[in-house]
Structure 1
Amino acid sequence: MPSPSRYSINEASSDGSEDSEPLIQNNAVPRQCCSARLNLAILMFFGFSVVYGLRVNLSVAMVAMVNTTDPQPTDNTSVVHACPLPSGEDNASQNFQHPDGTPQYPWDSETQGWLLGAFFFGYLCTQILGGYLAGHYGGKIFLGLGVLGTAALTLLTPLAAQWGSYWLFGLRALEGFGEGVTFPAMMSMWARWAPPLERSRLMTLSGSGANFGAFVALPLTGYICQTLGWPAVFYLCGGAGCLWSFFWFMFVSDDPRTHPRISEEERDYIVNSIGSQGTGHGWSVPVLSMLLSVPLWTIIVTQMCSNWSYYTLLTSLPTYMDTILHFDLQSNSFLSALPYLGAWLASTLSGVAADALIERRVFSVTVVRKIFTTTGLMLPAAFLVAVGYAGCSHILTVTFLTLSTTAGGTSAPGVYINQIDIAPRYAGFLLGITNTFGTIPGVVAPIVTGYFTEKHTLEGWRNVFWVAAGINASGALVYMIFGSGKIQPWAVAEEEKPEGERRRRRRSSQSDSS
């Protein structure tokens, strides 16, 4: 009889039942406090905080970089249905105070749009390749260099802006190119580091750094622009990324087997609980089986639907706060950041709750993923519809927007970590695939938003929120029907399959040859 410490929920089940897979015994679980795996999650958290700071800083800094960021429409009738201006009609964004000597550039709205979208052109290019290479070699080098490269390029932003908009566009595209490998590399590392009963909380903790980074970067960037000038934003953000990279390469290892400071008890727990799936894949991957995998396509479709509303708010919320509700610049930056604080808290707490449900066998992995995915898509959809009918009420609008993004954070332990359930060994590669598709809404959603809001009316924005809510609900429906948390047959190597199945396959092949 095998020892309990050798049990793994990643081993292939003899009868194909997800719930029949043995779980590692509780008395074999070492404490998580101050453990190597928790330290890795915290370091990743700060890494992704920096990554999102590097991603969104230009959105706010653009206000200070150009002479006019939101020219008034020439047709006065186009704003007849918009909310009234506040008393005094003082829009602080049009009276932005700059430190002496801060350069400004005459970029029109179209140029600004291209500069803000340049990042995604590069970001789309390296997701799949980064996930594939990280799955083979390990994620440490790719995540570390992704952040370091993006940070180093960010330091050149003031120089590129001085040379011209084309140079800045190219620089931002290169930043996206470097940052594209970071999330797939994270998934590849957790495939080797995250015990199955701790996946939800470890991965949501590390990934929630993205929401925390957006929450900190949006108001902080505005403050730095006013006090030190917009070039300081890129120097400070770039320096923070370089500093983080130093600690990353100093203290992180690709695999618990090679970590110099991990305890023997923790190393054995991680290695035995993950099982043989906690190793890198070879050069060949089952691409055809992946293309025909219904659970994988379910993740792709659901993430695209969820990201539509996320990117709609990320790129257009400051515009809505300005053109419809007429918040001043300081209030705009803070209120635009507030929803991401809620999403950070919701995703972290949801990860703990998801692991508790799985560990105590309240629900199977599949059911847990479906619960949190459905909650994280349907509730935001309802709150987005409510935003469209909040009218000019500042309090209701901010409340519904904050609740929508906060509720969306509960999908973090759902579809967003589902790749590691269905194929742990190929998790980084799969995340590269799903994240590539998931980035497409970041390009398309702002275009659709611009089409509906061309006349800056409440009705146009109501259509934006209805479309986003409908797409969210469609993603929830698809995942409820086709989603799965069970490891797929194509993700299991021949030597990992039960002996009975291997014997049947050998007999079948012998009979075919005869």
Structure 2
Amino acid sequence: MEQVKFLEYIYGGFPKLDRFSIINKRFTLSFLMFIGFTIMSSGVMLTHGNSCMNSSNGEIDDPFLHLSSFLVGYIIIQLPAAWLSLKFSPLIWFGRTILAHAILLFAVALFGSLGYIFLVVLKFFEGVLAGIVFIVCHAAWKNWTPAAERSTLLTFALAGSYLGDLFGIVMSIFCASLPLWMFVCCIIGIFGIIWWLVWERTVYESPNKHPTISDEEYNQIHPLIQEELRPTEGVSCKQIILSTPFLVLVALNVVRSWNGRFLTYDVEHSIIILIIRLIAFPLSGYLADVLVRKTSLTITNVRKLFVIGVTLMEAVYFFIIMHHSHHNKGTWLHLVSFLMQILYHVAFSAVSVNAVDIAPSHAGVTVAITSVISDIIMSFGFDVDIFLDKIGWTDVINFISIVVHLIVGVIFGIYGTAEPITAKG
């Protein structure tokens, strides 16, 4: 290690920025990912917002087309991005994709006002970039975090998307004129380019390639990570996809995506809801690792505690609204909906990390498949829910939801695991 550091200092030219960092390198990586997601999500939500586009494309009452274009790009790229994460460095592609999105924001500012079709095309490419970033983020952690720290580092990194949503919505509210819209897009793009310059000078593929990591941190994480990865080296994508833990995780993601209905909210509550998400998601990840370190619970037990506990509470929620549908949701049921927001993201954090738990070397694959399924179901779930409510099937669907939640909770309790899938199963 000392020889590597010395050679890097002699031949490396300009010193890396992280020579001056007093924070451990794995948290530095998580923090930079957090900022990267914040920048990207800010740009995405800004260009989602109708108030920004009204001034340039006329009154757009229905944003279906450009939002659908984004979603299509986001979904179709995830499986190719998973393949990309197996062949090339996920950390390099994470940085390059944020840079590409920063450049795209300049294109949005310049060409988005020329016509709605230009905006639709640009939103498609924005969805492609967002899908790549989401997948390679999960794949990038295999060399940098032991299983007992995975929840904290990964959920904190992903929480940047929630902060970006908050910033983007706030900016879109006040972005009422074309010059201001273009100016804000360019400012976010400039921040993205600056972020990439820092990323390139700070981030390395693994601890053993990092020239400035302390011996203490290196010895603390690298041998443990290699020991955890070694049993998974011979596993194939087919073995992972056909394994019981993965199939259980797919079923769990179907339930999670159906419960995406919990994410609906009134416009006046949007800021509160976004703050709830921003706090609940990374905090639940941190608490999961605390339970592993401070108690006798295993990582598998903690995942089951979070997932099964929330799944059962959601079943209770469906039971309550099925028998109290005559109550005004503006009263106590409305308050309960805020609790469901918190619980949803507690379970979502556990499910997101579990996709990395069971296949740390192939996390891009597990995340891509479960994410595509979840995105498709969630996209249609809202429309299905509205349709069933119109024909009076709400109670029937709530009853089915209760039964499905109980079944999936039991299945995950029996077959769910945080242990990596190995070549021997």
**TM-score class, shorter:** 0.7 to 0.9
Work out which of the residue numbers 200, 225, 237 in structure 2 matches 1:287.
237
1:193-248 deviation digits (Å, cap 9, x = unpaired) = 00222112111211222223223332332133379744444334333333322222
Amino acid at match of 1:419: A
2:50 is matched with which residue?
Answer: 62
Scaled by the length of structure 2, the TM-score of the pair is 0.82
Residues 131 and 184, structure 1, Cα contact 8 Å, conserved in 2: yes
SS at 1:190 equivalent: helix
Residues 257 and 377, structure 2, Cα contact 8 Å, conserved in 1: yes
Question: Could you tell me how far 1:249 is from its partner in structure 2?
Answer: 1.8
Q: Does 1:482 align with 2:415?
A: yes
Work out which of the residue numbers 189, 199, 203 in structure 1 matches 2:140.
189
Residues 187 and 428, structure 1, Cα contact 8 Å, conserved in 2: yes
Amino acid at match of 1:247: V
1:440 is matched with which residue?
Answer: 376
Amino acid at match of 1:62: N
Q: Does 1:297 align with 2:233?
A: no
1:105-140 deviation digits (Å, cap 9, x = unpaired) = 14453xx21211211101112222222322332211
Work out which of the residue numbers 426, 438, 442 in structure 1 matches 2:362.
426
Alignment of 1:98-497 (within 5 A): 102-107=55-60, 109=62, 112-225=63-176, 229-278=180-229, 286-310=236-260, 312=261, 316-317=264-265, 321=266, 332=267, 335-360=269-294, 362-379=296-313, 382=316, 389=325, 394=330, 396=332, 399-449=335-385, 451-452=387-388, 475-490=408-423
Q: 1:275 and 1:180, CA in 2 relative to 1: closer, same or farther beyond 3 A?
A: same
Structure showing the higher helix proportion among its residues: 2
The 2-side partners of 1:469 and 1:50 are apart by: 38
Question: Could you tell me how far 1:295 is from its partner in structure 2?
Answer: 0.6
Q: Does 1:36 align with 2:25?
A: yes
In structure 2, stretches of 5+ residues that fail to align are: 1-20
Residue identity (%): 22
Amino acid at match of 1:363: L
The 1-side partners of 2:130 and 2:225 are apart by: 28
Amino acid at match of 1:294: T
Scaled by the length of structure 1, the TM-score of the pair is 0.69
SS at 2:76 equivalent: coil
Misfit runs of 4+, over 4 Å: 226-229, 276-279, 380-398, 452-455, 459-475
SS at 2:254 equivalent: helix
In structure 1, stretches of 5+ residues that fail to align are: 1-31, 67-101, 322-331, 493-514
Q: 1:313 and 1:120, CA in 2 relative to 1: closer, same or farther beyond 3 A?
A: farther
Residues 52 and 175, structure 2, Cα contact 8 Å, conserved in 1: no
Amino acid at match of 2:83: Y
Q: 1:467 and 1:342, CA in 2 relative to 1: closer, same or farther beyond 3 A?
A: farther
Q: 1:381 and 1:48, CA in 2 relative to 1: closer, same or farther beyond 3 A?
A: farther
Q: 1:278 and 1:418, CA in 2 relative to 1: closer, same or farther beyond 3 A?
A: same
Question: Could you tell me how far 1:299 is from its partner in structure 2?
Answer: 1.4
RMSD of aligned alpha carbons: 3.5
Residues 377 and 476, structure 1, Cα contact 8 Å, conserved in 2: yes
Residues 39 and 188, structure 2, Cα contact 8 Å, conserved in 1: yes
The 2-side partners of 1:65 and 1:385 are apart by: 42
1:324-373 deviation digits (Å, cap 9, x = unpaired) = xxxxxxxx2x5113223222222222222222222345222222111111
Question: Could you tell me how far 1:272 is from its partner in structure 2?
Answer: 0.8
Question: Could you tell me how far 1:296 is from its partner in structure 2?
Answer: 0.8
The 2-side partners of 1:168 and 1:409 are apart by: 31
Amino acid at match of 1:146: T
